[in-house]
Amino acid sequence: MVAPARPHFVLFGSSIVQLSFSHGGWGSHLSDVYSRKADILLRGYYGWNSRRALQVLNQVFPKDAATQPSLVIVYFGGNDSMGPHSSGLGPHVPLDEYVENMRKILIHIQGLSERTRIIVLSCPPVNEEIVRGNTSTIFSELVRTNELCQSYSEACIKLCKELDIKVVDLFTALQKRDDWMNVCFTDGIHLAAEGSKIVVQEILRVLKEADWEPCLHWKSMPTEFSEDSPYDLVAADGKTTLNPSEWTFYREIQWD
C-alpha cells in the first residue's frame, strides 16, 4: 500500500465492470472525479454470472481484511439473464436463483463493516437487432432479449428495496435517451461512452442524495494535500499563488 490511505471504492461485477475503464467508461470517469479523494478498485470479470461471483466472494471481500471498502458498486445480471443453452452449459442462471445469489452477495458485503455502503446496478437493456446480427463461429447463439433483461432488472430492484440497499435502475435510465439503442453500446450489449455517462450521472445522483455519514459524494469528501503552498503557480498579481487542488475545468463533463 501507498500512503496516505484513502477510502476504497470497489467496482465488483461482470464485463460491464471489467470494461468500465475502456471506451470512455464509467469507471475511468469515477477515478477522475474521485482523484485525490478515494481509490477506485476494479474487480470486474468478463462473462461472469452471480454463481461465479459467489464462488470468489470471500476471496474478493475477506471479512478479516485490515481495511474494508467505503463503497462497493455491484453489477451482475446481464449474463445470468441470457437464455439457457440446451447443453446446460453457459452463463444462464434462473431468475429465482439469481435473486438468492444476489441476496447472499449483498448481505456478505453489508457485513464487512458498519460503514461499508453499497450501490447496485440493475441489468441494462440491449440492442436486440445488433445482438442478433453478431454472428460468430466462436460462440453458440447468444439469446439476449429486453424482456429477459427487464425481468432480471426488476427482480434486482425489488431485492435491493427489501434489503434497504441503493440501486440504479439502468434498464430505465439508459432508455430515457431517445437514441439509446444507437449511442449507448459498442456491440449492442457493452457500454459505449454515452452509455457510461448515464451510469456516472446515476451513481453520483445516488451518492449526493444518500443520507450516509460520512457522505461519499465527491464534493463532500476531503481532497488530499489541498493546503495552499508557495510552490503553486504564481497568480497574475505576482504576489500570491493559485491552489489547483480543486480545479475541475479540464474535465469534458462538469459532474454534479
pLDDT for position 133: 78
Cross-strand bridge partners of residue 166: 119
Under a CB-based contact definition with an 8 Å cutoff, are residues 144 and 82 in contact? yes
Beta-carbon contacts of 202 under 8 Å, excluding residues fewer than 6 positions away, are 168, 170, 173
Q: Please, where are the H alpha helices in the chain? A: 15-18, 26-33, 50-60, 95-110, 128-133, 146-163, 170-174, 180-183, 193-209
The CB density around residue 92, as the number of other CB atoms within 10 Å, is: 19
CA distance 92 to 95: 9
The domain ranges of the chain are: 8-224
**Cell representation of residue 45:** 470479470
Q: Rounded to whole angstroms, how far apart are CA atoms 246 and 252?
A: 16
- Is the link from the previous residue into 4 a cis peptide, with omega within 30 of 0? yes
Amino acid letter for position 176: K
Domain topology for 8-224: Rossmann fold (3.40.50)
At 173 the pLDDT is: 98
pLDDT tens per residue, range 119-173: 999 999 999 998 887 766 666 677 889 999 999 999 999 999 999 999 999 999 9
Query: Which candidate, 181, 206, 215, 222, places its Cα nearest to that of 6?
Result: 222
Mean pLDDT value across the chain: 95
Q: Coil, strand, or helix at residue 42?
A: strand
Q: 180 near 201, Cβ under 8 Å?
A: no
Residue 194, phi then psi, degrees to nearest 5: -65, -40
Contacts for 66 with CB less than 8 Å, ≥ 6 apart = none
Taking the whole predicted model, whether its pTM rises above 0.85 is answered as yes
* Predicted local confidence at residue 136, as pLDDT: 65
The parts of the chain modelled with pLDDT lower than 70 are: 1, 135-140
Write down the pLDDT at residue 84.
Answer: 87
pLDDT value for 216: 98
Active-site residue numbers? 14, 187, 190
